[in-house]
Amino acid sequence: MIFWLIVTTAVLGHFAIHLAIYNRLNATGLRRRTIKRIETLFIASCVAIPIAAALAFEGVADMLEPSVDSLASLHVLVRVYGAICILSLITFGVPWLLWRPLFRVEWLAVGSKSRIVHVDTVGDEPLAISRKCKWQSKIPFNQIFQLAIEETELPVSGLPAALDGLRIAHLSDLHFTGDISPAYARYVVDAANLWQPDLCVITGDIIDKQTCIAWLQPIFKDAIAPEGRFFILGNHDTRVADPSEIRREMQACGWSDLGSRSERRLIRGCEVEIIGNEFPWFPAPNIDVIQDGETKPFRLLLSHSPDQIWWARQRGVSLMLAGHTHGGQGRLPLVGPLLSPSWNGSRFASGDFFKSPTTLHVSRGLGGVHLLRWNCRPELSLITLRLKTFS
């Protein structure tokens, strides 16, 4: 019994280490080709190390009738690595468990309602247009076309009273790959327009395939937001030959490019600084750190990754909108997401959080290069800002 407890803990720790590395690798600004090579190496080691450890036992007897003494016969490197795995699981597993959505640690209590739309059933045009998408969309429990329209009353510390009730339509991670018809994204924009937002924002990962740049104007030119339409790019937008093509095409639609910059707008008589942060895939914007006692305009940050929450806090950002993590793409019952391309792992995979002075909303996104979603529907975020004082 003790033998199997030790072995099981070590194996879980081994997989946890590899999962942590995988998540953080995809949060770096490394080139995609480099990331894929490293991923291949770690997938191989994830499988090979447990097999090598099993083969390290001396004789069949140790495997048929295992005991704690059997572990002593293992090579010293196997025992050291096993100890590292167990310690890692204990040290990092506890906070990982505490950050599960089930316990809602750091989560912000919000008022929300959700409406699920099976977008593939509302129009005459089939949404799956590639062979890959046609068969993957039929896999049981796949939710790629089950759009969750989430209307959220989001409390924001430091919100000027005049901005109480401001409505923001937040789109993220559309991932135009050519697998899904542009009719899907047009439905999303139409749904946002019906809600009549004041602002409409996109937090990156718009284009994956060069030919899809031609989709941008037909989809986004008719988006309605009287106080402004803003966008930034993400890591997948670097896959095209020249990301500035995406920027030019979106600007031609009437959208403001906030990549690595900020823009000040007068909204309802209040000065609002809207900031774009695409780091680490593009340079971070040069925004002053807030000093004690210093007052600044209300700051709204569009960030592709939730990892910039610490950057936002230093600069007195009151509201940060992000994507990138897709909510984990799949979520286990009770446990929640495992995969999340973030330096914080799955801590901020999706949802609403408060890290003083910043309210953070992370969208599950609308698309993806992986055409599978389980227990993790794509999300259109319709956010109404509410004034709240946090203790």
Distance of CA 250 to the CA centre of its chain: 22
Q: Supply the pLDDT for residue 59.
A: 52
- Burial class of residue 292 (count of CB atoms within 10 Å of its CB; 0-12, 13-18, 19+): exposed
Give the highest mean pLDDT range of 7-11, 50-54, 337-341. 337-341
**For the chain, how many structural domains are there in total?**
2
Please, which pLDDT band fits residue 73 given cuts at 50, 70 and 90? confident
pLDDT beyond 60 at 251: yes
Asked if residue 359 and residue 245 are part of one domain, the reply reads yes
Q: Supply the pLDDT for residue 293.
A: 66
Asked if residue 255 and residue 160 are part of one domain, the reply reads yes
By the 8 A CB rule, do 342 and 390 touch? no
Q: Supply the pLDDT for residue 74.
A: 76
Last residue of a domain, one of 98, 122, 148: 98
Query: For residues 221 and 218, what is the distance between their CA atoms, to the nearest angstrom?
Result: 6
Query: For residues 82 and 76, what is the distance between their CA atoms, to the nearest angstrom?
Result: 10
CATH number for the domain spanning 133: value is 3.60.21.10
**Residues in contact with 29: Cβ distance below 8 Å, sequence separation at least 6, in sequence order:** 235, 279, 280, 281
Q: Round the average pLDDT of the chain to a whole number and report it.
A: 93
Q: What is the mean pLDDT of residues 88-100?
A: 91
Per the domain annotation, does 103 fall within a domain? Answer: no
Beta strands in 313-357 (DSSP E): 319-322, 331-332, 336-337, 351-355
Distance of CA 14 to the CA centre of its chain: 24
Per the domain annotation, does 106 fall within a domain? Answer: no
Distance of CA 124 to the CA centre of its chain: 31
Asked if residue 332 and residue 219 are part of one domain, the reply reads yes
- pTM, two decimals, is 0.94
Per the domain annotation, does 142 fall within a domain? Answer: yes
Asked if residue 173 and residue 270 are part of one domain, the reply reads yes
Please, which pLDDT band fits residue 66 given cuts at 50, 70 and 90? low
Q: What is the mean pLDDT of residues 334-347?
A: 94
* Cα atoms in the 13 Å half-sphere on the side-chain side of 3: 13
Please, which pLDDT band fits residue 62 given cuts at 50, 70 and 90? low
Q: What interhelical angle do 2-25 and 32-55 show, nearest 10? A: 170
**Residues in contact with 69: Cβ distance below 8 Å, sequence separation at least 6, in sequence order:** none
Last residue of a domain, one of 77, 98, 119: 98
Asked if residue 380 and residue 347 are part of one domain, the reply reads yes
Asked if residue 124 and residue 25 are part of one domain, the reply reads no
Residue 192 Cα distances to 93, 222, 224, 321, angstroms = 39, 11, 8, 16
Q: Supply the pLDDT for residue 63.
A: 56
Q: Supply the pLDDT for residue 145.
A: 98
Asked if residue 124 and residue 40 are part of one domain, the reply reads no
Q: Supply the pLDDT for residue 60.
A: 45
Q: What is the mean pLDDT of residues 320-347?
A: 95
Beta bridge partners of residue 273, listed in sequence order:
264, 299
Asked if residue 330 and residue 231 are part of one domain, the reply reads yes
Entry field: residues in the chain: 391
Q: What is the pLDDT of residues 278-301, one digit of tens each?
A: 999 999 999 999 777 677 899 999
Please, which pLDDT band fits residue 54 given cuts at 50, 70 and 90? confident
Q: Supply the pLDDT for residue 67.
A: 67
Asked if residue 74 and residue 154 are part of one domain, the reply reads no
Range of the domain at 185: 111-387
Asked if residue 321 and residue 274 are part of one domain, the reply reads yes
Q: What is the mean pLDDT of residues 159-173?
A: 97
Asked if residue 56 and residue 154 are part of one domain, the reply reads no
Beta strands in the chain (DSSP E): 111-118, 146-156, 167-171, 199-203, 229-232, 256-257, 262-267, 270-277, 298-303, 319-322, 331-332, 336-337, 351-355, 358-362, 379-387
Q: What is the pLDDT of residues 187-244, one digit of tens each?
A: 999 999 999 999 999 999 999 999 999 999 999 999 999 999 999 999 999 999 999 9
Candidates 315, 362, 364, 330; CA nearest to 108 is: 362
By the 8 A CB rule, do 281 and 234 touch? yes
